Amino acid sequence: MSPRRAAFAVVACVLAAVPSAAAQVSGPAAVRMNQTGFEISGPKAATVASAAAAPLPWRVVDTAGTTVARGVTTVFGADAASGETVHQIDFSTLTRAGEGYRLEVANQTSRPFGIAARPFARLKYDAMAYFYQNRAGVPISADHVSRPDLARPAGHAREVATCFSGVDQRGTAWPGCDYSLDVTGGWYDAGDHGKYVVNGGISVWTLVNAAERARSAGRGAFDDGRLDIPEAGNGVDDLLDEARYEIDFLLRMQIPDGATARVPDGRLAPAGEPLRLIEIDAGGMAHHKVHDRSWTSLPTAPADAPAERLLYPPSTAATLNLAAVAAQCARVWREADPAFSATCLTAARRAWAAARRHPAVFASSAFDGGGGYGDGQVADEFYWAAAELFAATGEAGYLEALKASPHWLGGPRSGASATGDPAWPATAALGTITLAVVPTALDPADRDMARRRLVEAARAYLVEGRAQGYGLPRGGTRFEWGSNGALMNRAMILGLAHDFTGEAAFRDGVIHALDFLLGRNPLDRSFVSGWGARPMVNPHHRFWAHSVDPAWPAPPAGALSGGPNNTAMTDDVARTMAGHCAPLTCWADDLRAYALNEVAINWNAPLVWVAAFIDPAPLDDQAAGAAGSAGRAQ
């Protein structure tokens, strides 16, 4: 039994009496709130749909029926994102710990809820477990999962792949290559068995950044032995051990020196026409991805996947993702493992040089069997990689590249240098975060500007949250594929703003983002498996496929659904909803709904960051365990 499993043994006794996640999905409640509970001193908010024009009285009662808080609602009115007319309730003045509270308003009564010191204590660990359970190349051991049915044999245990050859869906004839790479390991990206450098990059960076923040705070949440992984006990932070599993894979995707490749020439051919290929010296570049020649069916265990595995052509975006993550690795592992650090730095320098030689090699999305992750604009990746290389080396050349970038010291909302919100196709904000938080030779005035730009974005998010009936810190009525992951990336910016300023409003904004994920939404659903009264139970995933066949497992606790999506409704389930759902209700808990209910590493990574920000301490004792499992439904 690992140290963490021993620490949680008492929690298992509590959870044994709790029905399974699937069994807990009941009808929706009219009073929508965080289904996990609330912190004693944190914000407490709810939303109720009502057309009443005047404020409504509300009260909170305890298990004896005694009123412990009361007030009147705030009339929000028409909420375009939910398609409802709503009132908002703030009961933050209630600061007495307890279970079984109920909120009563307008003849509606909420489910019982709790107030505790650490209601989210376990969330960071459940969210982190996603990564171990989606490892490729190794068996997922029953010793390291919460239920025996989650164990499985190794998928793609020895993955030696060569380049795709043949004709793609556009009619482009790809010649293949004269080498193979051993690309064993890494994480399966999402519901399929693909492994993608561009999405692995932002996911690893986010986890390593969370590890650095935890280390600097001195709280020890991810110290050796805290996570239930095979590497626990090796003297290294467990979160870094998990990140290294993906970094090792990313390093394997780099093309050897002297190799050539045929790649698109940088011009965009008309839709449906073959691309024009040119031959380049590809040494140092990174293959964009590795995945099956054709899509596998649902369900399919990784060990049983029958399709041929292939490397797909290199891209500048993938190469710069490798440069950025390898440079971050070189800095973070410099003392813990100097040899690994040196390997990472060599890879980062090679990748940077290769991307500079070939700055416009863009990925084609015309292949079957895996996601495209195409990105036709890489100024953001150049900026991010330069920031990481400067932080790792202090060399003037990288600083010059940073200052020449259109994103220099930009934040998500900072005018001409704006980076946009962090996302796999928009990574420049990660570079600014590194310049803002990592000690370097950067002029202090520039570091302060980077911080101000991030705080500016966070303030804008708070303003947008006040314009939403459900309080989530983003505006408008357009919600993209993976909107929940995007929301967590915004919450990460809010958390950094709190670090920089100490202002409570920013931490409250992070809580409001979690509130939305965990039940304060018009669907009255928790988008995190195993958390809340009505958790997501049917993700689009080839192994967690219980809804297709009961012989397959339901998901473990801690997997984040992609969430509402009214802009790319491409699967069969979503297409039936298009034009018939309010933006925040364009979602279905259906394994077939990959555009709505897929799970992915780049969504779970910021969930880990946010959960560790809200509760940065380890989970060691019975009291913390009980608090941390209060809203958990497994």
CB atoms within 10 A of CB 570: 13
Nearest to 414 by CA among 460, 380, 370, 476: 460
- Confirm whether 192 is a catalytic residue: yes
HEC assignment per residue over 359-382: CCCCCCCCCCCCCCCCCCCCHHHH
* Element housing 250 (H / E): helix 238-252
Catalytic choice (84, 192, 241, 515): 192
Q: What is the dihedral of CA 65, 69, 71, 76, to 10 degrees?
A: -100
Catalytic residue among 87, 358, 512, 540: 540
Cβ-based burial of 560 (10 A; exposed 0-12, middle 13-18, buried ≥19): buried
- What is the SS3 assignment for 131? helix
3-state secondary structure of 329: helix
Q: Where are the alpha helices (DSSP H) in 405-443?
A: 428-437
Rounded CA separation 131/155 (Å): 14
Query: What does the alpha-carbon distance between residue 611 and residue 613 come to, in Å, rounded to a whole number?
Result: 5
Residues in the chain: 634
* DSSP structural state of residue 304: G
Instruction: Say if residues 48 and 105 touch (Cβ distance below 8 Å).
Output: yes
Residue 143 is classified by DSSP as: G
Any catalytic annotation for residue 291?
no
Eight-state DSSP code of residue 193: S
CA distances to 31, 56, 79 from 86, in Å: 10, 11, 7
Cα–Cα distances (Å) from 618 to 115, 518, 625, 626, in that order, read 19, 22, 10, 13
Which residues fall within 8 angstroms of residue 405, CB to CB, at 6 or more apart? Answer: 379, 382, 383, 386, 428
Instruction: Give me the phi and psi of 312, to 5 degrees please.
Output: -110, 155
- 407 is known as an active-site residue: no
Calpha distance 589→406 (Å, rounded): 41
Catalytic site includes residue 87: no
User: Residues with catalytic annotation?
Assistant: 192, 540, 589, 598
